[in-house]
């Protein structure tokens, strides 16, 4: 009689360092309310790269700014939680309940969570050298003299691959190339040794070679510093290369999430499949037209009833998708989706015949 195999020992449950739950950020304008973020939830773990993807206007950048408490007026976080586990602490703190201009938030912003802005040219002051701006960020969170902070800034510039950092530190942002500006922006974000780095479209407006260098830099820094990274982009190729897990957003809502392999090889939501099908593939027939997503993102003052994607969805269910909002529910162990093709109105699983998902060959 063969021996009875012993069960695997239970692995310790991973605890997230950042947990966003039902985040809502609205802009209260005279014309009406813009629900830029409308109930997004996700977890971020140590040493993980979480990709947030979607078309422009889906709420990705506002989500990042909401986490850091830097949403510009008249925008305001009106609901949800942003739970941060501070370094060495067992309990989590809800950033959404802190005063964005208060000392506690200022102590966290930059020191524990840092942001690489989308446009480094407009993010740097044109009236101060890049070195002065890095030194200011260092001294804001660390008790260093100006000389010590300058030496650390030079070390940071050297670490991110800026040539001749002792000279570049005294230059202005307009004197640097796009790739160097992005590297300097990364250096400033890392100036206070944060545990979480939010990179908002870090490769926008960069050539392909420079894009690859910036992404390689982020990977290297993550390995060296055990960084958790939130990578915001509309480029599915960057997501495939960099992310461990993916959150797909549409009109301020999370419509699908899961491990990157599941998202690329077994997408559940029609919007996710449409994004993937619009990527050029080496397997496509020569001279064939790229697939496109019909229509455009609805006007923020004219949000459609029901599922927000149904006006552009080719497999929408009449009488259901256009009248009821699907709940975000799990699909398997690690994937989740908000779609009536997989969950009925009351949350029950739909018959297998209703699942129109198809395997997508990753590019």
- 291: in domain: no
Residue 64: phi and psi, rounded to 5, are -65, -45
Task: Name the residue range of residue 165's domain.
Answer: 119-193
pLDDT score, position 346: 65
| 97-139 confidence digits (pLDDT tens) | 999 999 999 989 988 999 988 777 778 888 999 999 999 999 9
pLDDT score, position 13: 60
Contact 59, 251 (CB under 8 A): yes
pLDDT score, position 146: 92
pLDDT score, position 347: 58
- 308: in domain: no
Instruction: Give the Å distances, CA to CA, from 126 to 117, 129, 186, 201.
Output: 16, 8, 18, 21
pLDDT score, position 352: 47
- 247: in domain: no
- 331: in domain: no
What is the C-alpha separation between 242 and 212, in angstroms, rounded?
Answer: 11
Whole-number percent of the chain with pLDDT over 90: 55
- 75: in domain: no
Which helix (H) or strand (E) segment holds residue 196: the answer is strand 196-200
Sheet containing strand 49-53, strands side by side:
113-116, 196-200, 228-233, 49-53, 245-250, 253-259, 335-337, 329-331
- Binned average pLDDT, 10 residues per bin, the chain of 363 residues: 44 78 92 90 94 91 94 92 82 91 90 85 86 92 92 93 92 89 90 92 80 88 91 90 94 94 93 88 75 83 90 91 91 89 71 45 40
- 173: in domain: yes
pLDDT score, position 359: 40
pLDDT score, position 334: 86
- 161: in domain: yes
- 162: in domain: yes
Number of structural domains (the chain) is 1
Contact 76, 25 (CB under 8 A): yes
Contact 177, 146 (CB under 8 A): no
What is the C-alpha separation between 248 and 246, in angstroms, rounded?
Answer: 6
């Amino acid at each position: 009689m063969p021996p009875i195999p012993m069960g695997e020992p239970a692995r310790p449950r991973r605890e997230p360092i950042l947990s966003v739950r039902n985040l809502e950020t609205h802009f209260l304008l005279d014309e009406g309310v813009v629900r830029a973020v409308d109930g997004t939830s996700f977890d971020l773990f140590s040493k993980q790269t979480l990709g947030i993807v979607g078309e422009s206007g889906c709420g990705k950048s506002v989500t990042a700014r909401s986490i850091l408490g830097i949403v510009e007026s008249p925008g305001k976080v009106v609901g949800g939680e942003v739970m941060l586990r501070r370094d060495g602490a067992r309990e989590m703190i809800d950033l959404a309940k802190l005063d964005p201009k208060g000392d506690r938030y200022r102590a966290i912003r930059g020191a524990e969570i840092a942001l690489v802005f989308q446009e480094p040219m407009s993010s740097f002051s044109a009236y101060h050298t890049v070195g002065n701006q890095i030194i200011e960020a260092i001294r804001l969170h660390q008790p260093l003299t100006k000389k010590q902070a300058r030496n650390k800034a030079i070390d940071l510039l050297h670490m991110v691959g800026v040539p001749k950092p002792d000279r570049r530190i005294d230059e202005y942002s307009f004197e640097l190339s796009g790739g160097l500006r992005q590297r300097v922006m990364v250096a400033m974000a890392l100036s206070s040794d944060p545990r979480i780095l939010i990179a908002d479209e870090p490769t926008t407006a960069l050539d392909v070679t420079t894009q690859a260098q910036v992404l390689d830099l982020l990977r290297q820094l993550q390995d060296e510093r055990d960084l958790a990274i939130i990578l915001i982009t509309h480029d599915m190729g960057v997501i495939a290369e960099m992310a461990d897990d993916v959150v797909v957003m549409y009109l301020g809502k999370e419509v699908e999430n899961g491990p990157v392999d599941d998202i690329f090889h077994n997408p559940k939501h029609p919007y996710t499949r449409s994004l993937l099908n619009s990527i050029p593939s080496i397997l496509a027939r020569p001279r064939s037209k790229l697939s496109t997503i019909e229509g455009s993102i609805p006007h923020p003052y004219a949000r459609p009833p029901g599922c927000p994607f149904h006006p552009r969805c080719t497999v929408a269910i009449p009488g259901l998708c256009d009248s009821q909002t699907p709940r975000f529910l799990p699909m398997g162990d690690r994937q989740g989706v908000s779609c009536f093709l997989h969950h009925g109105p009351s949350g029950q699983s739909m018959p297998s015949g209703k699942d129109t998902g198809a395997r997508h060959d990753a590019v």
